[in-house]
Structures are given as structure tokens and as C-alpha cells.
Amino acid sequence: MTDETSGRPRETRVGVLRVPDWSVVVARQTGALPAGGEQGAPGAVVHALRIVACDEGARADGVRVGMRVRDAQAASPMLALAPADPVGEALAFEQVVRTVLSVVPAAQPIGDGALAFRMRGASRFYGSESRAIEAVRGALAQLGLPAAFGVADDRFAAELAADATGLGETIVPAGRSREFLAPLPVGVLGDDELPSMLHRLGVHTLGGFAQLPDDGIRDRFGAAGLVALARARGLDDRRVDDAGLGEERALRLVFEPGIEGVAELALAVREPVDRFVRQLAEQRLVCSELRIVLRGEEGRVSERLWRQPGFLRAGDIVDRMRWQLSESELGSALVEVQALPERLDAATSHMPGLWGGSGIDDRTRHALERLQSKLGREAVLTAATGGGRLLAERGVLTPWGDAAPAQPAGPWPGALPAPRPTVVFRPPLPVLLTDAAGGTVEPGTLDVREASPAVFSPPAAARRRVVAWAGPWPIRRRELGDTVHRVQLLDGEGEAWVLLHADGAWLAEGRYA
């Protein structure tokens, strides 16, 4: 089967299993919740004073995900509560992944107690897709876990098929994913902004959404809209990758008694981290993204994702453990450290080429890391392209080794087109813009050409005459007032500027050098 939009071959037949109420299951296994069943109390998992998961008994009493804790307790007075533990849930789910991998060739956890696996090879081995599901269900029975199953041509349809059944199975026939998805509401796409916009346009089902033209979706919603459109058409191209789990691919250290300082932590973890990195190297793997979890004696947890160009060596991991401990607020001694690789790459992909490396060279990397160790983590910053209407939002600065924050895809109406100013002021600097009579110029008078800027006073410089100007262009930003206006001008010294008018004042946003 091929992708209808690109013509590329894509993987066919994906199976998805979901263990219902996985967060509650783990909480009961760890003792955070009492045992359930007919005689047990209904249970729920809480985060930020809201219900994030609940069992069937709680739902029977009227408890729902997203409900405030006090409202849930009013609906179910016997409700037992446990705090959310995403790290513990992920670690516990590894046993489910290993169990499934014992009967199918490849499986991948996809969150919230769900797992995707390749169905094509499994169905050939067992004779049919139904028999392959029976084999997986039998393996899960050894763990005492029920599961719902869905099978389709793509992962998105298979996930929804698994959600469409209780603890049974829904098998979408080959080539019928789009037909299966058509009557479902657009809310299943998961993005709140896109479904709400589609509802306002009169599109309420995936079938109606799938009929919209690609160009219109691209112009209105950008790349994220095209991804959602492909999924609505049954063309989700996400592949099922082998999880490749193993004890050597995660590091967990427990300290008794607890550790108080960063120097003590560095001494305690250096040898285990060296061994952890060597074990990865023996499998010809390197870690380029690592999640570090610190747990305090009183139960507080610090969790952070670390990333750096290239890959993380043993010394890099130790440094990031130290930095995270120094910046965390555990409030008690450190009793547990976990290092969980989020991304493992083949070692060959980071080897230098015959005429040099493809990425940042070792000397530069060592220099940056040495500066960071001496001056502090936030003293060495790296830049990445961001998204936004203002110039300062176009460049995102993050400490070396940190994962850059996720940026919305846009589009950004009102953003300044290329070429952009080479100098950007953070924050914008106050300036004066006056007319020939010396009065302050207002954007409204510029818009109707009732006034014209004549004199410009740049930051920390003498007044200059305005040779040429263009604008204003309105930018609607809630945090900067109702509407911000942008103006471009050329002064008598030959310098071009980008100005903003916000809250009654003119600000220099950037300068062309």
C-alpha cells in the first residue's frame, strides 16, 4: 500500500492494545490505592487537584476525567485517591512491552497504557489477525491484565478502533480505514484549536474534514493541519518501531542514606554512569536525549529532559544530574536517581567522516562544556528558530544541552517577512517619533495619512530626520495591549529601523545593519 499524498510505500496493518485505566492499575499494584473489585473502594489518580484517571467503580458513581477533586469526592464519598506517577507508570509498562514482544516481532509503547505492534508478520505467523490477538491476549493474561484491541491500516485508525470496544477487539478490514473514520467526530483529532475551528466552519466529522482540499488546509492550519488531514483520510504515516527494551538501557540508583549535596552525588553516580554508557556502547548505541528523574526522601520528584548536539557521554550525564539537583527543590535528601534514554541512536551515525565530522567538532564541544562548568549552565546559550509575530520570538535561546522548548507551527499573521533586521532588541528599547511640529505621532494618524513622522530619536543617540517610512501594520497581541502597530523607517544617517507602538509609546524592535 502507498501513501496517496506522496506515493511512498508505508507500513500496512497496525495493531493497538490498550489496558484500561492503566494509571489506576499501577497505583493499585504499588499500594498507592487499595485493592479494587466488588468489595474495594473506587479509585482515581490525581494531578494538580484534578482527576486524570479513574476506574469503572468511580465512573459508575459519576466521576469523570478532568473533574475537580472536591467534586469527585462529592459524587463518590468512598473514592480513594492517589497522586499521578508518570515515571512509575512508564517503568511498569515495560513489563507489558516485554510480554507482547514475546509473541509479536515489534511493539512500541504509545502512552496512557497503550501499545502499537506490527500486525502483518504476527498474522502470518499465527494464521490470522484474530489468532494473533488471541496470542497477545493470552500473554497478557499471565500478568492479570485485560486489554482492548484495534487493528487497521494505520496507527491512528487502530487507536480509535481499540477505543471503540470495551475489552473486545475491532478489526477494520484492509483498505477501509477512511470509511471507518468518516463518521467519527473531529474532536478525536486531539487538538482543541483545530476541532473548534472546524466546528465553526460547519465540519463536524472526520469524513467531512477528509474531503477538504490540501491547499486550503495548508493555508489555514499549516503543517499540523496537513498531518491531521492525512490521519482523517486513514493515511497516518507513523511507523511502529521496536521498543528494544532491556535492563541495560535504563539506570536506576537508590541511596540509603540519602544524598545531600551535588559533590556527593557526582561521586556516587560516576562509576554507575560509566558502566551504563559502556553497556550502550557494547550494543553500538549512544544516547542523544535523556530523561533524568530525581526523587527526594519526602516524595518530591524532579523530572527533566536533557539533550545536546551529538550525544551524551558519561561526564555529560553526571554534569546534568548535578545541575538538576542544584536547581531542584526536593526539600529533602536525594534517595533515588533514574536515567531513562528518550532517544538512542546508532553509534555509527555519530562517527566522524573520512574528512571530518558532520556535526559540531569535539574541540568546540569541549570548549562550550568547559565554559558551562565554570560559569554555570545558563551562561552558555544556543539559538534556535522560534515562531511568533515579534522579532524577539523568532530566536529562542536555551542553555547548551537543554531541549529547546516546543514551538507552535503557526501560521503567524503580521510577522515581519524576510529579510529581517540583523539587530533585535530584547526587550524593545523606548524611542521618540515626532512630526514636523514636535508632536508625538500616533498610529491612527499614520494609517489615514493625516500625519507624517519627521524626527526620530533612537536609543542613546541624537535626533535624526526621517527620510522614508512605511506602515503602520497592526499586530493583535493580548499581552501587549489590544493592538500593537509596527512601522519601518529610514533615518538621515542611513540606518533602517523597525518600531513598535504599544501602550501609547514607541519602541525600537530591531535595526537593519
State residue 480's pLDDT score: 47
Neighbours of 237 (CB within 10 A): 16
Q: For residues 274 and 319, is the Cβ–Cβ distance under 8 A?
A: no
Q: How far apart are CA 128 and CA 122, in angstroms?
A: 8
Q: How far apart are CA 77 and CA 71, in angstroms?
A: 10
The C-alpha cell at 192 is 482543541
Q: For residues 509 and 498, is the Cβ–Cβ distance under 8 A?
A: yes
State residue 5's pLDDT score: 40
Closest of 395, 371, 401 to residue 383, by C-alpha? 395
Angle, in degrees to the nearest 10, between helices 86-101 and 129-141: 120
State residue 230's pLDDT score: 92
Q: How far apart are CA 383 and CA 402, in angstroms?
A: 11
Rounded to 10 degrees, the C-alpha dihedral 339/343/349/352 comes to: -40
- Which residue do the cell numbers 554534569 mark? 319
- The enclosing H or E element of 180 equals helix 177-181
The C-alpha cell at 28 is 493499585
State residue 301's pLDDT score: 84
State residue 6's pLDDT score: 39
Distances (CA, A) of 172 to 13, 111, 150, 234, 375: 9, 22, 8, 11, 58
State residue 465's pLDDT score: 87
Q: For residues 3 and 95, is the Cβ–Cβ distance under 8 A?
A: no
Q: For residues 513 and 420, is the Cβ–Cβ distance under 8 A?
A: no
Q: How far apart are CA 498 and CA 369, in angstroms?
A: 36
- The enclosing H or E element of 446 equals helix 443-447
Closest of 136, 148, 149 to residue 102, by C-alpha? 136
State residue 457's pLDDT score: 83
The C-alpha cell at 424 is 533585535
Backbone angles phi, psi at 296, to 5 degrees: -85, 165
pLDDT in tens, 289-328: 888 888 888 878 888 888 766 788 888 889 888 888 888 8
Neighbours of 269 (CB within 10 A): 22
Q: How far apart are CA 47 and CA 57, in angstroms?
A: 19
State residue 354's pLDDT score: 45
The C-alpha cell at 246 is 532491556
Region of 49 please: left (phi>0), alpha (psi -120 to 50) or beta. left
Which residues, including other chains, have CB under 8 Å from residue 125's CB and lie 6 or more apart?
Answer: 132
Distances (CA, A) of 387 to 392, 399, 403, 407, 508: 10, 18, 16, 6, 20
State residue 243's pLDDT score: 53
Sign of CA pseudo-dihedral 283, 286, 289, 293: positive
- The enclosing H or E element of 303 equals strand 301-307
Q: How much of the chain exceeds pLDDT 90, in percent?
A: 20
Residues of the chain where predicted confidence (pLDDT) is lower than 50 = 1-10, 244-247, 353-358, 480
Per DSSP bridges, beta strands 505-512 and 423-434 are antiparallel
Enumerate domains of the chain plus CATH numbers: 33-84 (3.40.1170.60), 183-220 (no CATH), 248-350 (3.30.1490.100), 423-512 (no CATH)
